[in-house]
Amino acid sequence: MKRFIIIVFIVFCGLFAKTVAADEPNLITAISDVAKKTGPAVVSIKTERVNHYQRPSSYFGSPYSDDSFNQFFEEFFGIRPEYEQKMLGLGSGVIIDARGYILTNDHVVRGADKITVTLPDGRKFDAELTGIDIHSDLAVIKITPQASPGTSASTLPVANLGNSENLNIGQWVVAIGNPFGNILDDPQPTVTSGVISALHRALPQTSRRDSDYSDLIQTDAAINPGNSGGPLVDLNGDVIGINVAIFSTSGGYQGVGFAIPVNYAKAIVEQLIQGKTIDYGWIGVSIQDIDQRLAQYFNLTTTEGVLVTKVLEGAPAEKAGIKDGDIILTVNKIKVRSTSALVKQISNATIGKPITLQIVRDKKNLNISVTVAKRDSSGNEIAKPAPATTTKSPLPKHWRGLTVVEITQDMAAKLGLANTNGVLIADVAQGSPAQLSGLQKGDVIIAINKRDIRNLQDYNQNVQLATGSSLVRTVRGFFVIEP
């Protein structure tokens, strides 16, 4: 009997091994097929930018030189001579049109004086920039292809742009680019594989860039510096994203990369080819995501939707009747799951056309039509947390862990506030309900349970009336503070 069991176990292991062996080549073959299909359309991009500098006075080099000598020299001979410094950049791109149009990242080609494109077959072309969009970090450059002998047909391979709407977490993907091609003098692109590890990822904005990375594909397929602008493709070889960023503490690959969904690119690529400026929609609201506390306070069954923290004066939202504290659930019957999703939907809406917002106000569902306007630099501000400050004013008694102070004219000026309305949080007790709610030192409270707070007297009166969960509105947004 034991011998029979051992034989059966060995047979089972053999069948399992054959199954695994049969499955593994399929994936390997699929990735290889993707490389053969899409790889020829992935190019290396080398950029050159020349910066001009004036040589310092010490450049004139005399051991007897001093400031007065340098001044005399400059006044007599004119300004100091300039020198040039050549800056080189590397990136990737994908050919999307047989006429020679290549899709890449804006940050790969921005500011370049010269752009050189190298195809995997070794051909090199000078490229010209046809269109850029800083907001999406996308750009289109163009090379002039040569026709095949005796024909007018282009000899350029072209990648197929797929569909990024129906992607799944765990889906196999392949990243193609040429991060080291120009350094290694090898035009063949690099192929890495992995899965989609997350969808709708947002990267925090920094002062160093104007791009909005609010709806990205996250993948563990290795993406390295120089891969920027290259395609992320599915196992059919269709482009589903444009590689744009890595999350790294060392500057190299650490398992997390990001790509711009290709549908976002398809929506603007024709305008980029024509050299047009890309306009984005705007309705003039500051918004925040809804957490579990806010959902419970507003009697919502889910945390989907976004909370309007501020309606800008004179903006389309104000004209349409949107109010502070409204909860936006859908845009044209499409669910709004987060602030990034709403920003995307409004940005891509047709300027000058109305959209219908389904909102919740005072536990009632309303449909409001808002005409989308063109976004500009003055209309894209999101309310930011007020900076922390110190004060010698007397501190009143704590309420749920909060210590607040009156706002003086001097404090309002330092905080960038239009007036002295509200109270400033001077301290938040560790482990208190206030800290658990997310309130911070430096926040300015302007309402409690929808009652305005103009000064310390209003604050003291309202906290005495507050029972149960309380909705605290600050300049930064809304918070629910438990008793």
- The catalytic residue positions are 107, 137, 228
Question: Distance between CA atoms of 341 and 261, rounded to whole angstroms?
Answer: 13
Tell me the sheet residues that pair with 258.
218, 245
For residues 348 and 340, give the distance between their C-alpha atoms in angstroms, rounded to a whole number. Answer: 12
Q: CB-based burial of residue 348 (10 Å sphere; 0-12 exposed, 13-18 middle, 19+ buried)?
A: middle
Helix residue spans in 39-113 (DSSP H) = 67-77, 106-109
CB burial class (10 A; 0-12, 13-18, 19+) of residue 248?
middle
Q: What are the distances in angstroms from CA 420 to CA 393, 411, 455, 460?
A: 15, 8, 8, 16
Identify the H or E element spanning 86: strand 82-97
Distances (CA, A) of 321 to 285, 316, 358, 363: 12, 9, 12, 17
CA distance 280 to 268: 11
The answer to whether 456 and 483 are in contact (CB under 8 A) is no
The DSSP result for 219-254, as a single string, is E-S---TT-TT-EEE-TTS-EEEEEEEE--SSSS--
Residue of 394, 378, 391, 392 whose CA lies nearest to 444: 391
